[in-house]
Chains A and B, each alone.
Chain A
Amino acid sequence: MAEIAQTARSRVIARRSPWGDLFRKEDWWSIWIGLGLIAVAVALFAGGGSIKWIAVAPQKWSHLSDVTLQLKQHALQYAALFVLWSVSFGIGAAALGIKISRFLPAFLLVYLAAGSIYFLGLWDQAAHYNLEPPLVALGLGLLVSNTLGVPRWLDPGLRVEFYIKTGIVLLGASLPLTLIAWAGPVAIVQAAIVSLATFGVIYFAAVRLGLDRRLAATLGTGGAVCGVSGAIAVGGAVGAKKEEVSVAISLVVLWAIVMIFLLPLVARALNLSTGVAGAWIGTSEFADAAGLAAAQTYGGYAGNVPGIAGNPDAAVSAFTLMKVIGRDMWIGVWAFVLSLIATARWERTAIQSKSRAAEIWNRFPKFVLGFIVASAVVTLVARGFDYAAYKKEVVPALVAPLQAFRTWAFTFAFLSIGLTTRIREFASIGARPFYAFTTGVVVNVVLGFVLSTQVFNEFWNRLGQ
């Protein structure tokens, strides 16, 4: 901490302009990149063209010779795509303060590894061997980071949140605005029930176990609202101890990783439809990137695993509606309310925090706006087409290339999760925080399952069709 204090001396002391956030926060850069790609795609589509040349993606293959052939035929496109991603993410990273000379070599390796995993997922035997790309990316990353170790020079390229938020903005392009308006309220109701119950269970279990209320609240929002992001938002708002925030982060990461594997496995055993499984994962996973890994895995089962009904994209769509619209959007409100309670009711600390309603907007996950704008733009473009023309013209020239971009961005993120997760860090979690959080996990998973499969099941099934 002495080093941190030393570094802090050179910090800018004037309050920054709020407009500066447009270029110094990852959320905004994910919007600029995601909407920028969508704007170019729409402009080309309007002129009778398509962005699909550069949105190259692997196709189904049976033998390694097919892969070689695909790579030879599309080498220039893959190189151009690398340049596009490098420039887009590189500029964003540079604006965030990450040296571009350090970002680019690391990103090259991420791109190559993600491309290999993307190809592997398109092998016609991949489903047979359970080689779903999100799980392979995560598993490979975990294996490397916890055995061989990850060299320091790779760190600047492992930006999980930057990639996942950009992917979520791009995901908006394949979700009609009418669907968001139709499903959003149900997602908010379901998520609110589970979030309040989970928070209450974790908070009161933690207090009963003798933990500090600030830690209890940080753990509670980590489990109930938006994972690590929830933990840091509320940890800061209530002025938690540094090690308490660390404990909450470790617990969320631990359980999020477990759930990536567990939720699709159980949903598959129960033959849940893609829409229902996506809603359950959206209710019961703790972080966006982890949940999208689980939801994309499950979507991949549709058409490949007997008994799994629904559209492959429905799992990711239902997850996103539940998690992003139902849970993430409300983090500012949670932080504000808990900061008010901490200031008024809890034992005082040497530091006085100020509760300001402006924090609701300050902490709002802005990438959600990009997701909604993306949906509105493509919905507007598609308005003049009937269903047959939409499938024949809009999907191949506009929507499918944007879906390919999204899959790339998600794969970068899934790989980065594994490569940044160190299992040994979980050793610092104490027994009491573990018990409190785990109690909430059980309630969250069971309640999320009941609401998704019993109470709102017809609704989520319809979404999947």
Chain B
Amino acid sequence: MSAPASPSCLSCKHFNHAPADLEAALPGLSSLSSAYAAVRGDDGICAVHQRYVTASSVCPAFA
């Protein structure tokens, strides 16, 4: 069962952690690793700050 949403990057509209999008946004990622790998966790890209961050991060630009 899923826990309720929290105001972290995971539920922010600016945050993208879709594996296919990450592999497109980070060239070379699929050559010797993968966005589907466990080591990535749920990290993704923040479109506002242009940073690669963990899903549990927070910021004032949350939307």
A-B contacts counted at CB < 8 A amount to 218
From B2, B6, B35, name the one whose CB has the most chain A CB atoms within 10 angstroms. Answer: B2
Distance of A240 Cα from B43 Cα, bound (Å)? 11
Q: List 20 A-B contacts (CB under 8 A).
A: A15-B4, A16-B2, A25-B36, A160-B31, A161-B32, A161-B37, A227-B33, A232-B26, A236-B43, A237-B43, A241-B50, A242-B45, A246-B26, A250-B28, A252-B28, A349-B51, A362-B38, A362-B42, A363-B38, A420-B31
With A9-B13, A236-B53 already in contact, the answer to whether A420 and B30 are too (CB < 8 A) is yes
Contact: A242 with B51, CB < 8 Å? yes
Q: Which of A13, A240, A359 contacts B52 (CB 8 A)?
A: A240
Q: Report how far A114 CA is from B58 CA in the complex, Å.
A: 45
**When chains A and B are docked, how far (Å) is the Cα of A365 from the Cα of B47?**
27
Residue of B nearest to A95 (CB): B36
Q: A350-B59, A367-B38 are in contact. List 16 more A-B contacts (CB 8 A).
A: A8-B12, A15-B2, A25-B37, A26-B36, A96-B19, A161-B36, A229-B40, A239-B51, A339-B54, A351-B51, A354-B57, A364-B38, A365-B38, A365-B39, A417-B31, A425-B28
Are the C-beta atoms of B57 and A232 separated by less than 8 Å? no
A364 to B37, CA, bound (A): 10
A101 at the interface (CB under 8 A from B): no
> How far apart are the CA atoms of A15 and B43 in the complex, in Å?
13
A8:B57 contact, CB within 8 angstroms: no
Give A250 Cβ to nearest chain B Cβ, in Å.
5
Which residues of A have CB within 8 Å of B10? 13, 15
Beta-carbon contact of A359 and B51 below 8 Å:
no
The distance from the CB of B15 to the nearest CB of chain A, in whole angstroms, is 6
Give chain B residues whose Cβ lies under 8 Å from the Cβ of A289.
32
Minimum CB distance partner of B60 in chain A:
A350
Which parts of A184-211 form the interface with B (CB within 8 Å)?
none
Closest to A239 in B: B53
A417 to B16, CA, bound (A): 25
A42 within 8 A of B: no
Task: Please tell me the size bucket of the interface on B.
Answer: 35 or more
Cα distance, A364 to B39, chains bound together (Å):
6
> B residues within 8 A CB of A65?
none
Given contacts A15-B6, A350-B59, contact A421 B28 (CB under 8 A): yes
* Cα(A13)–Cα(B43), bound, Å: 14
List residues of chain B with CB within 8 A of the CB of A11. 11, 13, 15-18
Give A256 to B45 CA distance when docked, in angstroms. Answer: 25
Q: How far is the CB of B33 from chain A (nearest CB, A)?
A: 4
Q: Are B26 and A158 in contact (CB under 8 A)?
A: no
List residues of A whose CB falls within 8 A of some B CB: 1-2, 4-5, 7-9, 11, 13-17, 21, 24-28, 96-98, 158-162, 226-233, 235-237, 239-246, 249-250, 252-253, 256, 286-290, 331-332, 339, 349-354, 356, 359, 362-367, 417, 420-422, 425
Taking Cβ atoms with an 8 Å cutoff, the residues of B that contact A are: 1-6, 9-21, 25-47, 49-54, 56-61
Check if B41 sits within 8 Å of A236, measured CB to CB. Answer: yes
What's the minimum C-beta distance from A223 to chain B, rounded to whole angstroms?
Answer: 13
Looking at B26, B45, B56, B60, the one whose CB has the most chain A CB atoms below 10 A away is B26
Report yes or no: A365 in contact with B53, Cβ–Cβ below 8 A: no
What is the CB-to-nearest-CB distance from A225 to chain B, in angstroms, rounded to a whole number?
Answer: 10
Inter-chain contacts of A241 with B (CB < 8 A): 50-52
Minimum CB–CB distance for A292 against chain B, Å: 11
B50 and A229 contacting across the interface, CB-CB below 8 Å:
no
- Known A-B contacts A8-B14, A351-B57; the reply to A233 vs B41 at CB < 8 A is yes
CB of B30 within 8 A of CB of A242, answer: no
**B39–A14 contact, CB under 8 A?**
no
Q: A242 near B50 (CB under 8 angstroms)?
A: yes
- Our pick among A16, A229, A243 for the contact of B33 (Cβ within 8 Å) is A229
A289 to B34, alpha carbons, bound, how many Å?
A: 12
Q: Which of A231, A290, A351, A363 contacts B59 (CB 8 A)?
A: A351
Interface contact A2-B49, CB-CB below 8 Å = no
Residues of B within 8 A of A160 (CB): 30-34
| A29 CB to nearest B CB, Å | 8
Q: Which residue of B lies closest to A93 (CB)?
A: B36
B52 touches A228 (CB 8 A): no
Q: Say whether B49 contacts A5, CB under 8 Å.
A: no
Q: How far is the CB of A240 from chain B (nearest CB, A)?
A: 6
Q: Closest chain B residue to A366 by CB distance?
A: B38
| A25 and B41 alpha carbons, distance in the complex (Å) | 9
A39 to chain B, nearest CB (A): 22
**A239 close to B57 (CB less than 8 A):** yes
Contacts of A287 in B (CB 8 A): 32-33
Neighbouring A residues of B31 by C-beta, 8 Å: 160, 228, 253, 417, 420-421
Identify B39's interface contact among A2, A229, A256, CB under 8 A: A229
Which B residues lie within 8 Å of A244 (CB)? 52
What is the bound-complex CA distance between A339 and B54, given in angstroms? 10
Residues of B within 8 A of A364 (CB): 38-39
